[in-house]
A and B are shown apart, each in its own frame.
Chain A
Amino acid sequence: MFPTPIEKTSGGLRLAYKLALPIALFLWLLPLLAIFMTSIRPAVDINSGNMFGWPSAFNLVENYVAVFTQSEALTYFWNSVKVTIPTVIISVSLACLAGYGLAIYNFKFALPLFFLFIAGNFVPFQILMVPVRDLSVKTGLYDTVTGLVLFHSAFQTGFCTLFMRNFIRALPYELIESARIEGVKEWRIFWHLVLPLVRPAVAALSVLIFTFIWNDFFWATVLTQGEASKPITAGIRALNGQFVSQWHLVSAASLMAAIPPVLMFFAMQKHFIAGLTLGATKG
C-alpha cells in the first residue's frame, strides 16, 4: 500500500494524522457548512449581518417549510423526478441493447459505431442547442417534461453505450459462443444470459445518470421555461431571483435540491464509484 500505512508509523505521526483528518474535512466542507448554517438562521440574522456568529434562533423547520409554501419549489422538485427517472430507464435500456450489439458481434461497423457514440458523448452542448431547441419547438415538445426526457435519454445513451459495451466486452465470450452452438436465439442469449450478468453495470449507470440528469442545468434552461416543466436546478435560479436578499431561503432551497443525488450517492456508493472509475484501473 502507498503511502505507508499510518499504523506502521510512530505513535506521534499516527495521532497527528487522526487529528488532521477531521480538520481537513472541516475545511473542505466549510462552504457547505456555512450554507447549512445560513439555511437555519432566521431572517433577522441575515438583515443584521449576523452571518457567521451563533444563530439567534434555529429556524430549520420554518425556513424549509417556507421554501415550499412560498414558492413553486415543490413543483420544480417533482418535475426533476419526472425528468430523471424515465431518462435513467430509457437510456440504460437502450444502452444495454446497443452495448450488447457492439460488444458481441464483430461486424464491420462495430467499431465505427462505437466511436460515434463516444464522440457524440463528448461534444459541447452548445453545438446541439439551436437544432434541438428548434426540433422541440416544432414537435410541440418544447417546455414539456417529455421533451427533456427524450433529449436526455438520447444524449446519455452515448455514455451508457460506451460503458455497457466495455462491460459486456469484458464478459467471458465463451459463454455466448457455447449458447450459440446450442442454437439459442440471439435475443434469448441477450435476455437470459447477458442481462443478468450486467446487473452491476446497470446499477452503476443508473446512479450515475440519475445524478447527471438531476444536476443538469443547461438543458433545463434551454428546453423549458414554465412552472409546469422546469426542473429544480433551473427552478433554483428562479427562486434566487424571487428570494432576493433572503439568503436563508435560497440556502435552504439549494440544499433541498442537493438531497436526492446525495442520498443516491450514499445509498449506492459502491456502484456509483464503480461507474465513475471505470477505466481508472485499466487502459
Chain B
Amino acid sequence: MANSTTTADPAPPGNLRWQKNRLAIAPWLFVAPALIFFSIYVIIPIFQSIALSFYEWNGLYDGEGQSTAKWVGLDNYRKLLFDDERFYISLKNNVIWLVLYMLAVPLGLAIALFLNQTVTGIRFYKSMFFFPFVISQVVVGLIYGWFYNPDYGVVGSLWKWAFCEETINIMGNVTTKCSTKPPDILGDEDWATYGIIFAGLWPQVAYCMILYLTGLNNVSPEQIEAGRLDGAKGWKMLRHIILPQLAPATFLAIVVTVIGALRSFDMIAIMTRGGPFGSSNVLAYYMYETAISEYGDRYGYGSAIATVLFLIMLVYISYFLWRMYRDEKDNS
C-alpha cells in the first residue's frame, strides 16, 4: 500500500506540497458526511448503550428534563447472569437458532445444484425459488402463523381430515371431535422455537441458494473436465472439485446466516411474542420486551441484554474483519 502512495505522487516538484496536502485532505472530505452520520446513529449509540447497562432507568425524564437514571454498577449483569431464567432460555434459543439456521447453507446448496441447469424456463424457476427472500419477514411470520394454527390453519385442517370427525353440537352447529388433539406448535413450549425457525429457514434457504447459484456459475469448467478425466463424479466431484471452488460462497452464506440467526426478531414478534411464557424468546426480542414493550420499561437492564448480544456478535464481526484484513493484505 505504501508504494502506491509514492507512485500516485508524480506531480512537479514545486507543486508537491500542495499536491500532498490535497491528497491528505480529500479523503476526509469524501468520507466525512458518511462518517458523521454513521457515528451519530451507530457508533456513538453503541457506547451509550454499554454505558446505560450500568444504570437502572425507566426511560423517564423528570419535569426539568433530567434523566431519572440511577447508577447501579454491575448489578444488571449480576441479575442477568445469575438470577434470570428468562435470559438463559433466550440464550439457549439463540444457540438453537444458530445451529438449525445453518441448515439453510446445505439446503441452499442442494436447491442450487438442483436448479443449475440450462433447460428452457430455468431462469423463471430460479427467480421463483428466490421469491421468499424478497418478502418481508413480517409477512412470512403471518403466513406460517396461520399455517400452524391448530384450529383453522393448514396443520389444523390436515389434522382434522386425518383424526377428527364432524359432529353437531348442542346448539346444532357443526363442530369437530378429535381422537387426539391437534398439535399447537406455536403454543407449545417445546415446539414454538422450532416452528419459528422452520419458517425462518424458508427465506434464508432462498438466500443461500442464490449465493451458490452465482458461485456455481463461476466454477471453472476446465477443473470439472479435469476431474471427470480423473474419474471423479457425483459426490466425489462435489466434495473435491466443486466445494473448494465454492468456498467464497460458503463463507458468505455462513456469515449472512449467522447474522440472520442472531438478528431474529421480526418473526418472533409476529408469531409468538416470545411465548408461550417466554419459551420461544431470543435475546433480541427479550431485550426489546424488557426495554420498551407494554410491560417493560427497564432501559438499563435491556441495555445489559443488548450488550451481551453485542459481545456475541462481536466474535463473528472480529472473525469477519480478520478475514477481510487478510485478503486486503494479500491484495496489496
Chains A and B directly touch (beta carbon < 8 Å):
yes
Q: Chain A residues in contact with chain B, CB under 8 A?
A: 1-7, 17-18, 21, 24-25, 28-29, 31-32, 34-35, 38, 46, 49, 51-52, 94-95, 97-98, 100-102, 104-107, 110-111, 113, 115-120, 122-135, 150-151, 153-155, 157-158, 161, 173, 177, 180-181, 186, 190, 211, 214-215, 217-218, 221-222, 233, 236-237, 240, 247, 250-251, 254-255, 257-258, 261-262, 264-266, 269, 273, 276-277, 279-283
Interface residues of B (CB under 8 A from A): 1-2, 4-5, 7-8, 10-11, 22-24, 26-31, 33-35, 37-38, 40-46, 48-50, 52, 59, 113-114, 116-119, 121-122, 125, 127-132, 134-139, 142-144, 146-147, 152-154, 157, 202, 207, 210-212, 214-219, 221, 224, 233, 237-238, 241-242, 248-249, 251-252, 259, 262-263, 265-266, 269-270, 283-284, 287-288, 291-292, 299, 302-303, 305-307, 309-310, 313, 316-317, 320-321, 323-325, 327-328
Q: A2-B216, A154-B42 are in contact. List 9 more A-B contacts (CB 8 A).
A: A118-B317, A126-B302, A129-B306, A130-B52, A150-B41, A254-B142, A265-B134, A273-B214, A277-B210
Complex: chain B residue closest to A262, CB-CB: B134
Q: Is the CB of A119 within 8 A of B152?
A: no
Inter-chain contact A24/B33, CB cutoff 8 Å? no
The answer to whether B211 and A280 have CB atoms under 8 Å apart is yes
- Whether the Cβ atoms of A132 and B41 lie closer than 8 Å is yes
- Give the distance in Å from the alpha carbon of A90 to the alpha carbon of B33 in the complex: 11
In the assembled complex, the CB of A213 is this many whole angstroms from the nearest CB of chain B, namely: 11
List of A residues within 8 angstroms of B10 by Cβ = 181
Contacts of B238 in A (CB 8 A): 2
Decide: A106 and B1 in contact? CB cutoff 8 A. yes
- CB distance A276 to B207 under 8 Å? yes
Q: Which of A24, A104, A124, A127 is close to B114, meaning CB atoms less than 8 Å apart?
A: A24
Give CA–CA (A108, B230) in the complex, Å. 49
Q: Which 10 A-B pairs have the closest CB atoms?
A: A101-B30, A154-B41, A98-B34, A131-B45, A105-B27, A215-B136, A277-B214, A131-B48, A101-B31, A126-B306
Q: B224 and A258: CB pair below 8 A?
A: no
